[in-house]
């Protein structure tokens, strides 16, 4: 699913060009889009046809499995540390929100009645 893309080397002529123009346009040459292959028979047209929904679903899961195999999973020690930091931040957020809620409740009671 993912394709490798080359990084373009920006030259001075591109940096002064208007946004949305490429190097070929700034040098006066037009760039044509890649030509589509001409299909000769019905059989060739059927072969080029996009896969159905079920086939695309299987392709998606196959690609997802391949990507998950490339993931660098954290070890137990790093996971425990990250979980601890998360729990501390959640606890601090809960205390802050409780304080703000209490202050605003008292302020509202003072104003209303």
57-82: pLDDT as tens digits: 999 999 999 999 999 999 999 999 99
**Confidence at residue 9, expressed as pLDDT on a 0 to 100 scale:** 47
**Secondary structure string (H, E, C) spanning 49-92:** CCCCHHHHHHHHHHHHHHHHHCCCCCCHHHHHHHHHHHHHHHHH
**Confidence at residue 99, expressed as pLDDT on a 0 to 100 scale:** 98
- Checking if the pLDDT of 11 tops 60, the result is no
In total, the chain counts a number of residues equal to 113
- Nearest-CA neighbor of 80 among 68, 69, 88? 88
* Helices then strands, each counted (H, E), the chain: 5, 0
> In this predicted structure, which of 10-24, 37-51, 87-101 has the lowest mean pLDDT?
10-24
Q: How far apart are CA 15 and CA 18, in angstroms?
A: 8
Secondary structure class of 26 (helix, strand, coil): helix
């Amino acid at each position: 699913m993912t394709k490798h893309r080359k990084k373009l080397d920006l030259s001075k002529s591109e940096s002064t060009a208007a946004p949305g123009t490429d190097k070929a346009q700034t040098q006066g040459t037009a760039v044509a889009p890649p030509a589509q292959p001409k299909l000769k028979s019905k059989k060739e047209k059927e072969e080029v046809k996009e896969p159905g929904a079920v086939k695309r679903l299987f392709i998606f899961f196959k690609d997802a499995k391949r990507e998950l195999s490339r993931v660098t999973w954290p070890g137990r020690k790093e996971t425990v540390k990250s979980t601890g930091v998360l729990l501390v931040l959640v606890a601090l957020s809960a205390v802050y929100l409780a304080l703000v809620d209490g202050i605003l409740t008292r302020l509202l009671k003072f104003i209303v009645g």
